[in-house]
Amino acid sequence: MCFGFALLPLIERKAHLKKIIDGTDIQFSESFEVDGKEMFAHACKVGLEGVV
């Protein structure tokens, strides 16, 4: 059976993603309600590798 996640609301897609990556080395971060430039500046300040 094929299932298209793209048709689901974002909140549901994120819930599925969280389950898929559980137990892996991939880190799931919650969404942030901030300006992209502000988020990028903070990521640089704290030494993060990147922001997706």
* Rounded Cα–Cα distance for residues 9 and 17 (Å): 13
Residues near 8 by beta carbon (within 8 Å), at least 6 away in sequence: 16
Task: Yes or no: say if 32 and 42 are a contact pair by the CB < 8 Å rule.
Answer: no
pLDDT at 46: 95
**pTM for the complete prediction?**
0.56
pLDDT at 30: 81
pLDDT at 51: 78
Q: Which two tokens stand for residue 50?
A: 């990147």
pLDDT at 47: 93
pLDDT at 29: 82
Q: Which residues of the chain have pLDDT under 70?
A: 1-3
